[in-house]
Amino acid sequence: MRTSLEGENAQYSLPLVDILETQGQLPLNEWVGKMMTVRYDQAIHCVETGRKIKRAFGEGFSYDAWLSSPLASPSIVNPELSRIHEGIALRNKEWEEAHHNKPHYVYLSRTSEVKVGVTRTLNVPSRWIDQGATEGIILSETPYRQLAGLMEVALKDVFADKTNWQKMLKNEVLEHESLLMWKNRAFDALPGMFESFFSDNDTITLISYPVISYPDKVRSLKLDSTPVFTKRLSGIKGQYLLFDDDSVFNVRSHAGYRVTLDFSKQD
């Protein structure tokens, strides 16, 4: 799902793609509270090549593409592994120059708890919305990805670097101390070699989600085991659709799956 922020309100749209051909976007916020049918058409296409595959690896790749695509490079998950600023590409020099040899933020966000993360400067605040954060603040700005990754690694003893997705979806968020206080703690924890990259932008971005009700006990829906379902959409948070029977559907983990969607405005 594609995301944006209007004021403090997260906005969602679903790209419509026929194999690799873009067919437009479907605004989703307006469908919260309505009935939604998802039907898996028993086909998966690699998001890189469009080739029909039996199983998706990563986020919609064929096995070969998962091993070779820069979109599945080890430096995506572990930014500290990037070496493109040295002229060394892990997979695709042109792509890595365009995406990893660019300014990056190290940030703190509040999902289920306060976590540290790395993203390109162009991806804020959409990155925070993707992970279901209710707040975000910038720690530092670096000229390339690896440097941001090294700062993230240095902070992993102080902050989590992954979201507890079940607590995030139940809206169980720890809010005892402000992100600005956590930012100051992060500065204290970082070695002096990083000080010149610290950000003095103390703006805390607040994010609210189009959710009528949160699940009490999260039950994950997967198309391989539940190929057709009709449920009332009770909200959207992170990359998840929330339904009124406490089930949730991870849209991103089903990248490449061919589906038919139907919405009804009738109660």
User: Are 226 and 35 a contacting pair, CB within 8 Å?
Assistant: no
Average pLDDT over residues 174-187: 90
Is residue 228 packed enough to be buried (19+ CB in 10 Å), middle (13-18) or exposed (0-12)? exposed
What does DSSP assign to residue 87? T
Q: What is the structure's pLDDT at 263?
A: 86
Residue 147's alpha-carbon distances to 93, 128, 155, 166, in angstroms, are 18, 20, 13, 31
Residues 4, 10: Cα–Cα separation, whole Å: 6
Every domain of the chain and the residues it spans: 9-264
Tens of pLDDT along 123-152? Answer: 999 999 999 999 999 999 999 999 999 999
Tens of pLDDT along 63-113? Answer: 999 999 999 999 999 999 999 999 999 999 999 999 999 999 999 999 989
DSSP reduced 3-state for 132: coil
**Which two structure tokens, joined as six digits, stand for 95?**
């792509």
Q: What is the structure's pLDDT at 160?
A: 83
Query: Is the pLDDT confidence value at 239 over 90?
Result: yes
DSSP reduced 3-state for 139: strand
Tens of pLDDT along 10-26? Answer: 999 999 989 888 889 99
**Which two structure tokens, joined as six digits, stand for 81?**
């592994």
Q: What is the structure's pLDDT at 151?
A: 97
Residues 239, 55: Cα–Cα separation, whole Å: 21
